[in-house]
Structure 1
Amino acid sequence: MKKSLWLICLTLFIVIAGCSGKTEEPTKTAEQSGEAAQQQEAPKELTKVKVVLDWTPNTNHTGLYVARDKGFFKEQGLDVEIVQPGEGGADMMVAAGNAEFGVSYQENITLGRTHNVPIVSLAAIIQHNTSGFASPVDKNIKSPKDFEGKTYGGWGSPNEEAMLQSLMETEKADVKKVNNVSIGSADYFTATKSNIDFAWIYYAWTGVEAELRKEPMNMIYLKDYSSKLDYYTPVLATSEKMIAEKPDLVRAFVKGAAEGYEFAIQKPDEAADILIKAEPDLNADLVKASQKWLSPRYQDDAAAWGVQKRDVWVNYADWMTEHKLLTGTFDPDKAFTNDFLPKQ
């Protein structure tokens, strides 16, 4: 701002001095005129903001990288830094004001809101839940009933057993007949080659990787057995404070992100190249294949990318309450908003 003001004052001084003098100002060359115009049009200072990922970079995040590297955020006046989460995770960083925006999940926000965590979902990155229980085909697990007598490898969260129970109840199977163990930091491929029969995965990454490895799997999607489990995962989120104090900045960020994801929907191969260039340690073949699988699922059957439905938030909260995973009062209207999405 100071530089711009100084340039304006300098320009006015030159004009006034030229008008009051007795001698005519020398004619400027085209090159000199161009330089003067550039000086008068000082570059707009960008607002620095930080968006923290939920996990290591993957194709859930492609739209953010596209928006940054194709200049969509810059067009909105933003200089966006993409960072990976610290020990507290993305939600805590956003709630504490250590990052303006973050990648979260509906399940996290639903639980957090009942514990006074002031975080709000701004957009659904993927319209439908692409997660489920996967197993190598030789385990012969083709439906939830086949979980009986098998070993599930998870992380020991109450949500996991509740989801197993929900799916198994649809086929009158008994969740108590599942051997539920923790796999710690082991991935699906490592775990299922040892003592694990099936695990919870997101198909867009692990499932596609299995295809590339030529290790066929059976996939049981959560949403196919319960509409209440077709929740938004992942989502873009911010804090209540950001919405209250800097709504224009929030709107600018969401608009840039929307352009990034729309680009990835229309041009998955080019979008994958942008992610690969930004994160060269990623497996390029996996990124390409994952992007091809995921791009049409960002928006899917929604009217536009990012749109969230109140019923989806209510249904999942009801499911959590039914399984004694949610205590306290949950207000869906404070948990999400579509107000910052670009107008269609």
Structure 2
Amino acid sequence: MTRRPLLLTCALLAALLLTACGEKPEDLSDERPPTTRLSVLLDYLPNANHAGIYQARESGGFAKAGLDVDLRTPSDPATVLNQLTAGKVDLAITYEPEVLLAQAAGKDVTAVAAIVTKPLTSLISLPKAKISKPADLRGKTVGTAGIPYQTAYLRTILREAGVDPSDVKQVNVGFNLNRALVSGRVDATLGAYWNYEGLELERADRKPVVVPVDELGVPRYDELVLVARSRTLAEKESGVRRFVRALANGYEAVRRDPAVGTEALVKANPDLDRGLQGAAIRRTVREGAFFPAEPRRPWGWLSTDDWADYGQWMVDNALLTRPIPLDNVVTTDFLPGEGAGGEGRKSPSGAERPSQVPEGVRGP
């Protein structure tokens, strides 16, 4: 008795199931698609948060997906979104608050995947400051990087702790957060990451007290997201979809074995401290920051519920003014299994629920 009819039936069933999950035909083919060139601008210098990106490149994931990817490092992190909206790059990595601010200012920026799915920004202090809880900030000096929403984070934390903001001195120390903390210039910092500056202090045996902002009253948000212009999403739809799929595979490989992420990252950037980067990647994987909190969601998932909550927080803190729909702010259509027929949307035209984020930036 031949097994061919049974095998054929199973193959057809598998194809139907994959189609029902919203996969695009290109994802099911073993044939390499025509090469698509994509320029991708990082948010900052290469670091542990980019481990899956470098793993995808080093393992040949981009090439296998028919992609010629030009990874770029910004000369000035503050100009990343300006370069994207000017069409100088196809894709960029930035922060959820920056996406909302850009959209409110009328810029064409859409988030297509979450790179880091929870806040890394933390309140950090050293034992000598005797800050075991937010209420202990009364009478202390807190250093930030001078970013407006970090000031709002501090206000929220103090309000939750019942501390009058006038009882806490805030100092802009730029990006020298750990230096300001160790030197004693400030008693605590707000703006450094638990998976980098916090870990760096820990490795130096300084016994830091590190608390992420979402544990102190700030709504959960995606620390890092992949963004694009609507024109790029339309003209390079297939390429963007394949790039996101390659990233998903890269970050999955890093989750299985953080060492492959460390190797790829340091090989591409030899000046990095291998020990620190390896420890940061392991910590980030352990804390589940590279994947959504809901296991059934694909890598890169963007929760419009969380985005709406964070957007409302921005309104409440005078960072933005009037609400706008999330339709053009986020799309999950480019994620694995979320294409046509999936839960996502490509040219953003809906949301998981009627949700809005603020439109308009407070002030000039």
TM-score (norm 2): 0.79
Letter of the 2:291 counterpart: Q
Residue in structure 2 matched with residue 325 of structure 1 by the alignment = 319
Matched position secondary structure for 1:51: strand
* Distance 1:193-1:108 versus aligned 2 partners, 3 A rule: same
Counterpart residue number, 1:301: 293
Q: How many residues align?
A: 301
Pick from 175, 183, 202: which aligns with 1:211? 202
Alignment of 1:70-219 (within 5 A): 70-87=59-76, 89-200=79-190, 201-219=192-210
Runs of 4+ in 1 over 3 A off after TM superposition: 189-192
Instruction: Describe the SS at the equivalent of 1:337.
Output: coil
- Aligned residue number for residue 30 of structure 1: none
1:53 aligns with 2:60: no
The CA deviation at 1:190 is 4.2
Shift of residue 171, structure 1, vs aligned partner: 2.0
Q: 2:13: which partner in 1?
A: none
Report the RMSD for the aligned CA atoms in angstroms: 1.7
Structure 2 residue corresponding to 1:280, chosen from 257, 270, 285 = 270
TM-score (ref. length: structure 1): 0.83
3-state SS, counterpart of residue 219 of structure 1: strand
Q: Secondary structure at the match of 2:161?
A: coil
Q: Which amino acid aligns with 1:321?
A: V
- Which letter does structure 1 place at the counterpart of 2:241? R
Q: What amino acid is aligned across from residue 46 of structure 2 in structure 1? A: P
State the Cα deviation string for residues 186-208 of structure 1 (Å, max 9, x = none): 23134431311111211111111
Once the two structures are superposed, residues 224-272 of structure 1 have per-residue CA deviations (whole angstroms, 9 ceiling, x without a partner) of 122x521001111111111122211111111111111111111101211
Q: Deviations over 1:124-170 (max 9, x none)?
A: 11222122110112211121111111111113333122111111112
2:329 maps to what in 1?
335
Q: 1:184 deviation in Å? A: 2.8
Amino acid at match of 1:214: D
Mapped to 1, the partners of 2:293 and 2:219 lie a distance apart of 17
Which digits, 9 at most, give the CA deviation of each residue in 1:22-80, with x for residues without a partner? Answer: xxxxxxxxxxxxxxxxxxxxx97632211111111111111111111111111111011
Q: Distance in 2 between matches of 1:190 and 1:155?
A: 11
CA distance in 1, matches of 2:329, 2:114: 12
Which secondary structure state, in structure 1, belongs to the residue aligned with residue 307 of structure 2?
A: helix
Q: 1:159 and 1:57 mapped to 2: Cα distance?
A: 24
Residue identity opposite 1:68 in structure 2: R
Amino acid at match of 2:164: D
For structure 2, list consecutive stretches of 5 or more residues without a partner in the other structure.
Answer: 1-31, 339-364
Q: Which amino acid aligns with 1:208?
A: L
Which structure has the larger Rg? 1
> Residue 250 and residue 44 in structure 1: after superposition, are their counterparts in 2 closer, same or farther (change >3 A)?
closer
Counterpart Cα distance in 1 of 2:72 and 2:170: 33
Cα deviation digits, residues 274-333 of structure 1 (max 9, x gap)? 111111100010011111101242115232321111111101110010011003443222
Partners of 1:44 and 1:243 lie apart in 2 by: 17
Contact 2:143/2:177, CA 8 A, preserved across alignment: no
The percent identity for this pair of structures is 29
2: CA distance, partners of 1:56 / 1:339: 28
Whole-angstrom CA distance in 2 between matches of 1:109 and 1:301? 21
1:64 matches 2:56 = no
Retained in 2: the 8 A contact 1:142–1:220?
A: no
Contact 1:317 1:330 in 2 (8 A): no
CA distance in 2, matches of 1:278, 1:210: 25
Amino acid at match of 2:56: A
d(CA) in 2 for partners of 1:245, 1:107:
26
